[in-house]
Structures are given as C-alpha cells and as structure tokens.
Amino acid sequence: MYITNPLFALLATTSLTTALPNPNSPPKNKPVKTQDIINALAGTYTLINTSSTLNNVPIPDLAYGEAPVGILTYSRSGYMSATITATEPALRPNLTFPFQASDLDSDWALVGKHSIGYAGPFRVNEAIPANKTSGQVFHGPLVAANVPTWVGKEQRRNYTIMREGGKTLLRIGSERGGGYRGVLWWKKVD
C-alpha cells in the first residue's frame, strides 16, 4: 500500500527490533503492571495502512492489496480479534454467505488469499521490557483463524502506541517468517 503520511513512511521502514525497547537500557520508570499495558491497548482500531519488507527491502503487500480495510480489537479482559481484507473488486469476487453450490472454489480461494481473520486471548510478553506505549504481545493461543495452522498457535506482535493530533495510533509489527515482516498502522475508534 502506498503510504502518504511521511511519519508513517519513515516508521514503516523501521526494523521491528528498533521498534522494541532496548533490553540493555536502564528502566526509566518503575515497572508497569501487565494489566495497565492491557488497559492501554484496549479498544477498537481501524486499519490505516500496511507495509511489508523482505530481508529489510520494501515489497508490495500482496496479501492485502492496495487499499485494505480491517478492524483490530483488544479487550480489557485479555481477548483480541483481527480482521483484514483487500478491497479491490478483482480480489473480491461477488460471493455470498453461506457459500452456494454454484460458487467457484477459485473465487473462494481468491478471497482466502487476500484476507485474514483470527481471534483468541492475548498477553504481554513479560520476557522483554514493556510499558503502556511499546513492547510485545502474543495473540493466542488462537481459538479461531481462517488459516487452519494458526488455531492453537501464538502470533508475536510488537506494539507502539502514539498520540498525534488528538488521535491514538497503534503500530503493530509482525515477523512473517522467511525474512518477511509486516507493519500495520491502526487508528483507535473506540
């Protein structure tokens, strides 16, 4: 996806390791309680944009298309849900739910290739320094996921919360394996 905000463009290219607190830095404040971090993340967010890299080189985010939409929700009780999908008509065949016998498997496969949805508990990774604005969480073990191999697994996500012009922005970084990394920007709506 093309990133129009220069701040997002700069931050989107930042390595995930630089998005995390430096474990060798001395603590600036007294330790933050895990529930305080969960409370800081709690809310509903809408997707602003995504970017991907392969071995730190920017690449098109083919999974989500050029203009994805999504919702990310964290609850104060420790549950989360994420849904992202492409919006281009070429990636969104005219299907209904439940599926119809006349639907093409290739149409459903196309939808599956360009969307992600999963939900389950989440927790703060206490093995690395974390606070109410940056750290790492685990999504899972996932209870539901449209990618079958994700059910029962954990997804590691780095988070950074920023305030800009009265808005709360959430930067989520993820390692996707094989040198692939993703950065997703979300805006808090609730």
Please report, for the domain that includes residue 156, its CATH number: 2.40.128
The mean pLDDT of 49-69, rounded to a whole number, is 92
**Is the model's pLDDT at 119 over the cut of 90?**
yes
* pLDDT tens-digit map of 90-109: 999 999 999 999 999 999 99
Amino acid in position 151: V
Give the DSSP H or E segment for 8: helix 6-12
Is the pLDDT confidence value at 47 over 50?
A: yes
CB of 156 closer than 8 Å to CB of 136:
yes
Domain membership of residue 1 (yes or no) is no
Q: Please give the residue range of the domain that contains residue 57.
A: 6-188
Kindly state whether residue 22 falls inside one of the protein's structural domains. Answer: yes
Is 125 inside any structural domain?
A: yes
Confidence (pTM): 0.83
Q: Which residues pair with 155 in a beta bridge?
A: 139
Domain count, the chain: 1
Note whether residue 30 is domain-resident.
yes
Distance CA 179, CA 131 (A): 27
Tallying the residues shown for the chain, one arrives at 190
Q: Which of 88, 94, 89 is CA-nearest to residue 107?
A: 94
